[in-house]
Structure 1
Amino acid sequence: MGVKSNNYYSNEKRNTDKANDATHQEMLELVKDIAKFSDNTYGERRIKAVLNALSFPVSRWKVAKLMKEANVWVRYKNKYKATTNSDHNKPLYKNELEQNFTTEQPNQVFVGDITYIWTAEGWLYLAVVIDLYSRKVVGWSMGSRMKAQLVCDALTMAIWQRKPDKGLIVHSDQGV
């Protein structure tokens, strides 16, 4: 035939009918079940770990082929949460600072923002108020829900600690 014997037999081995291989079919069904159980969040490494735990020693590359054959794709979740909603009907205030973030003395301008932190209990929201002159945190509040009260508590703490004069400017990015 003009083909070396080792190539012939390796090609024969490669082309064995996988549809008749019971172990292959069982692993294929397991991959589908694992994907369904994990809501398509398990990738090659985690599926490999599950298959190995179920006494199916496979490599990551074999799992990748099984996933492709089973038409299983990983659905990645966002690693961030959207916290600003700029699409609202609330009034916008004039930007008094106009990107000039310097002041001559303390307690003239406070700036605030909200961020979120992942903890073992879930997401926690942190509202912070900073004195623009000293760049120090003068008020903060933390909670499990992002509500207006969170910001009010942080601002109340800042005013209580610093007792600013009239004319204080409070600046934020106006995210709701």
Structure 2
Amino acid sequence: MTVDPFIEAEKQGGHSVKRACELLQVSRAAFYARRTDAPGPRAVRDAELTEKITEVHAVSRGSYGAPRIHAALQREGERCGRRRVARLMRQRGLQGQHRRRRQRTTIPDPRAAVRPDLVLRDFQPNPAKLDVRWCGDVTYIPTEEGWLYLATVIDIASRRVVGWATADHLRTELVAEALRAACRSRRPGGR
């Protein structure tokens, strides 16, 4: 039950609002704030800060979080706390981008046999030796659904990708599929 009508009636009757608020154990500031329906100074300041926070966040292309936005506001002469900036960002639905953890992609199998280096670390292109020496690489691409792995096979002589494959895993089948694609497109030794 709200006591505001009783306090208002006392005020109209010529009695003290202060005394009525004391008896009803209500804050005078809260009574006057509800009576005027005007936002308080804190709400006005929060609205101003939220606009500035949104502007700094947009300038940073959405990458700044609360600590960096707080520092940028401090440089501009705005006096506010970092926790207040974090609260206003939360209320507005703004957040910074997090650095992704580096994912370990190559995990050697200790039981695997050691393969000889047939290229002998010579990666200089020789146009006369097309489809003689190939090398490959596996890379990973972060997507919204998780990691996408890309295996490529490159002809050293032409420096062109001759086969590739993608998968959501980093197993031998991915590299084998890239090699099969390279063999289908270039047909080495079968000319």
Match of 1:52 in 2: 88
Aligned residues, how many? 105
1:147 partner letter: R
Match of 1:147 in 2: 171
Alignment partner of 1:116 is 2:126 = no
Identity among equivalent positions (%) equals 32
Match of 1:96 in 2: 118
Query: Is 43-52 or 113-122 further displaced after alignment?
Result: 43-52
How far, CA to CA, are the matches of 2:112 and 2:137 in structure 1? 18
How far, CA to CA, are the matches of 1:161 and 1:125 in structure 2? 21
Cα shift readout 1:49-105 (whole Å, capped 9, x = no counterpart): 4422578xxxxxxxxxxxxxxxxxxxx875321111235220011112221113431
How far, CA to CA, are the matches of 2:90 and 2:181 in structure 1? 56
Task: Report the aligned-residue RMSD.
Answer: 2.6
Match of 1:80 in 2: 102
TM-score (norm 1): 0.52
User: Secondary structure at the residue paired with 2:140?
Assistant: strand
How far, CA to CA, are the matches of 2:153 and 2:120 in structure 1? 18
Cα shift readout 1:21-69 (whole Å, capped 9, x = no counterpart): xxxxxxxxxxxxxxxxxxxxx87359654422578xxxxxxxxxxxxxx
Gaps of 5+ in 1: 1-41, 56-75, 167-176
- For the pair shown, the structure with the greater C-alpha radius of gyration is 2
8 Å CA contact 2:153, 2:182 repeated in 1: yes
1:113: Cα distance to partner? 1.3
* Correspondence list, 1:1-176, <5 A: 44=67, 49-52=85-88, 79-86=101-108, 88-102=110-124, 103=126, 104-165=128-189
2:104 partner letter: A
Higher relative contact order (CA 8 A, sep 6+): 1
User: Secondary structure at the residue paired with 2:134?
Assistant: strand
8 Å CA contact 2:134, 2:153 repeated in 1: yes
1:165 partner letter: G
How far, CA to CA, are the matches of 1:137 and 1:98 in structure 2? 20
Match of 1:72 in 2: none
8 Å CA contact 2:66, 2:89 repeated in 1: no
Q: Which one has the bigger helix percentage?
A: 2
How far, CA to CA, are the matches of 2:181 and 2:149 in structure 1? 16
